[in-house]
A and B are shown apart, each in its own frame.
Chain A
Amino acid sequence: MALFSRSPIAPLEYSRTLWMRLWVGAVMVFLYAPLIVLMIFSFNDSKRNVVWRGFTTKYYEKALGNDQLVEALLNSLTIAALATIASLLLGAVAAVMLWRFRFPLKGAVDGTISLPIIVPEICLGVAFLMFFAAVGWPTDLVWPFNLGAITIAHITFCFPFVTMVVRSRLASFNREQEEAAKDLGASEWQVFRDVLIPHIRPALVAGALLSFTLSLDDFVITYFTSGPDTITFPVKVYSMVRFSVTPEVNAASTLLIILTVILTFIALKLQGVKAIAETH
């Protein structure tokens, strides 16, 4: 086998030692086995979905034909899109501000900006529930304005992530580039547009995709802020599971997983490739 026939294992080549491979393999199984089982059983031709009864794609048709489920997905995508745009603007501006300027209470802002990431989601969910009740947030608006409460909640926990990735990218910015642009006649705004934005673009893309997936996936906070007409995809799946775990749920979940994986992959790819190209 290739494992044994190659050159001897060097002292630091842990990835080629047997025990390390077994360990990594075990981690992979524990992490991904449940997801793979879920995906496989989405093709199960059985209503109970406990034992394998043969291959079918009818539950995908059923899931996509379920108006409530499709509506929930549409809600989720709308919220994710709105939350992403807002988080991107808010997060990027906050990052640039904290990096570039000195202002009163900067320390306090810096310290609390990532609070929405740290605070347990359940607390944030309850807090939003009470907040929207206290301010008397209208619940009878027409679509898509009825998604306002959920969107605001999502922006709250998404934008700190954008701030984080943009700030780490800004740390590698060579201030001489800014001065060079100014030296060549650029105004503050032109420096921002022509030099700073291109530099943080990979972080903006990564932050946007991060926000989008976080928003799309969120259950806890959404559960507390959604009303009867504003069901999102994860909340809908949860309510379906309460009756029975049919392959329809598996199919719907599989679609969500695939969407999330694709977006995450693009985010990593864009950030990685760009970052490598620009540091060398």
Chain B
Amino acid sequence: MTETARPIIQIQNVSKRFGKVTAVDNVSLDINAGEFFVLLGPSGCGKTTLLRMIAGFELPTEGRILIDGQDMAGIPPNKRPVNMVFQSYAVFPHMSVADNVAYGLKIAGVKGGEVKDRVAEALELVKLGGFETRMPDQMSGGQRQRVALARSLVMRPKVLLLDEPLSALDAKLRAQMQFELSELQEKVGITFVTVTHDQDEALSMACRIGVINKGEVAQLATPSDLYEYPANRFVADFVGSVNIFEGKLTLDEPDKAAVDCPGLGKVYLNHGVTGPHGADVWVALRPEKIYLHVPGEGKAVKAAAQDAPDGYNFARGKIKGMSYLGDITLFEIELETGARIRVSRPNLSRHDQEDFTWDDKVSMHWRADSPVVLLG
């Protein structure tokens, strides 16, 4: 990351309509030089359309896109200083790996000797050295993706666009490529803009994430801010797993706040939320931030939850569902109010999963800095 954030891509009030359908709705965002930016959203949210507008394959209905300060209006894709890695990789099947990678350089009129050096360098970068004469049909999906990457990187673009780069890979390879893409991005220092619907992918690779919902930017934040400080219910729900309860704001001061949730109980926060008093709000609580106890251990519960006044941040219920996932166990608990809540519990010892079973009565508490109050 650069010390002084300089925007390399400026998207200004961009809208895109296909007939009556609005795919992108008045989006404005800046992507900084050298950062790994991820556009995250459910399928059909307009994130790919946004990426294709940057590449020049779609034209904005309204607004403008600037790349490195230059307005891209009227500039066709083949004249833009960006390159794209396509979802299907789109490696040319009739060309060898070296010819694929050299294609853009040859079009640009780069001399033979330099082409050879740069192709070798690019293939080395994506760990495909020695594959020059291979044909694409002799390679695996992961290797073809590397060819597509090398083919784009060899052009030394100002921005590299990646459309769902990992969606076609199996789980193990995907985890490895997430890591490798981040590493590669740091090495070449080119701005990466990736589109994905996979939150794990976004959280693990991005410097910053733009969450897109229904053509609009729902939140723009770093991965940890996005997860810990979601701006609205959509983001809280889309990124990670969350319990959301409706409630009324009963107390809102600079250093504390309280929400009365009919489903969950009384929730206490150790910071203000600056919302209108008595307003309808939502409380989001992540499953891993809830502690589970056997009901008899009342004292222990109280001791752990002492950052909140009596009767706050505490609930009782009955285990209705359980799934053991190895590293954690996921519980579905029916509260005394009738509402359901999801709680995850790390299996810190090899016998932890034996602590609870179906229909067990349990108590739970959470810390005063765990709940997030959402106004929208």
Contact = CB atoms under 8 A, between A and B. Distances in A.
Contact of B77 (A182, A190, A198, A201): A182
A167 interface: no
B87 A179 contact: no
B313 interface: no
B107 A185 contact: yes
A200 B254 CA distance: 69
Given A198-B94, A278-B93, A180 B84 contact: yes
Contacts of B274: none
A179 B137 contact: no
Contacts of B79: 185
A190 B107 contact: yes
B94 A184 contact: no
Given A187-B78, A195-B92, A280-B137, A181 B87 contact: no
A180 B90 contact: yes
B322 to A, nearest CB: 44
Given A277-B137, A280-B137, A194 B103 contact: yes
Contact of A184 (B57, B88, B155): B155
Contacts of A181: 92, 103
B86 interface: yes
Contacts of A194: 92, 103
Given A177-B92, A185-B79, A277-B137, 18 more contacts: A174-B90, A176-B87, A179-B55, A179-B57, A179-B90, A180-B84, A180-B151, A183-B55, A184-B103, A184-B104, A184-B107, A185-B155, A186-B107, A190-B107, A194-B92, A195-B92, A278-B137, A280-B137
Contacts of A180: 84, 86, 90-92, 148, 151
A154 interface: no
Nearest to B83: A183
A167 to B, nearest CB: 19
Contacts of B108: 185
B190 to A, nearest CB: 15
A185 B104 contact: yes
Nearest to A274: B94
A148 to B, nearest CB: 37
A186 B100 CA distance: 13
A186 B78 contact: yes
A280 B138 CA distance: 9
Interface string B90-112: 11111000000001100110000
Contact of A177 (B90, B104, B107, B137): B90
A182 B137 contact: no
B100 to A, nearest CB: 9
Interface in A50-89: none
9 contacts: A176-B86, A180-B92, A181-B103, A183-B84, A184-B83, A184-B103, A185-B79, A185-B104, A195-B92
A236 interface: no
B78 A183 contact: yes
Task: Across the A-B interface, give the 3 residue pairs with the lowest CB-CB distance, nearest first.
Answer: A184-B104, A180-B90, A176-B90
Interface in B45-100: 55, 57, 76-79, 82-84, 86-88, 90-94
Contacts of B77: 179, 182-183
